[in-house]
A and B are shown apart, each in its own frame.
Chain A
């Protein structure tokens, strides 16, 4: 089975530019998560969706960040305008949901973002 697919794997851009990260979850998974990983803050949950609907976006750092899930097989995380402090590895994860939350999340290989 194909895992969670993220693109691009690496992105280098200049401050002020718009950045769009993409994620294709595992087919049949109805939960999708966006995380950010940095040395200073570790793994942070930014937002998650259930059946394409955003459930909790309390981790989104600022209005410059937005996420969408137009259908069950695609999600985007957009940063506009980007700043150097947004440099991090961004992970997408998906899972099948249960009310008890005991299903593991499956992670993509991440997008390494560098804002110059």
Chain B
């Protein structure tokens, strides 16, 4: 079974400050990891994903995340927050499945990011 824990349901930063959203996962096999962003009254939009290869992954809007196997973490960062980054962020893990079965996504509970002027 797989699970995702996002530490902190709310994170507040000042504009221009570092953004750090924490995600830890549990998986019995090497995971595929995703970060999604949800703006009000919209669906989820993919920010970035880790599958294999380089552990530092760059995504859209200046976000990046680092896969750390030893820490079972996939924290999301952005060096300088913009007002437009205010949204809810979801970490998700994809389950490996044998044969032709598709891996289901398991989502964390989400972190609401607030950016102050």
Q: How far is the CB of A7 from the nearest CB of chain B, in Å?
A: 13
Question: How far apart are the CA atoms of A105 and B100 in the complex, in Å?
Answer: 17
Would you call B89 an interface residue if the criterion is a C-beta within 8 Å of the partner chain's C-beta atoms? no
Instruction: State the majority secondary structure of interface residues on B.
Output: loop
Chain B residues near A56: list those with CB within 8 A: 104
Extra pairs beyond A99-B102, A100-B103, A107-B36 (17, CB < 8 Å): A42-B110, A43-B90, A45-B105, A48-B104, A91-B43, A91-B44, A93-B44, A97-B100, A99-B98, A99-B100, A101-B104, A102-B49, A104-B46, A105-B46, A107-B44, A110-B41, A110-B43
Interface of B toward A, CB cutoff 8 Å: 32, 34, 36, 41-46, 49, 51, 90, 94-105, 107-110
Q: Which residues of A contact B (CB under 8 A)?
A: 4, 31, 33, 42-43, 45, 48, 50, 55-56, 91, 93, 95, 97-102, 104-110, 112
Q: Which residue of A lies closest to B52 (CB)?
A: A102
Closest-by-CB residue of A relative to B48 is A104
Q: CB < 8 Å: which of B32, B34, B109, B110 contacts A100?
A: B32
Known contacts being A31-B102, A42-B107, is A101 close to B43, with CB within 8 Å? no
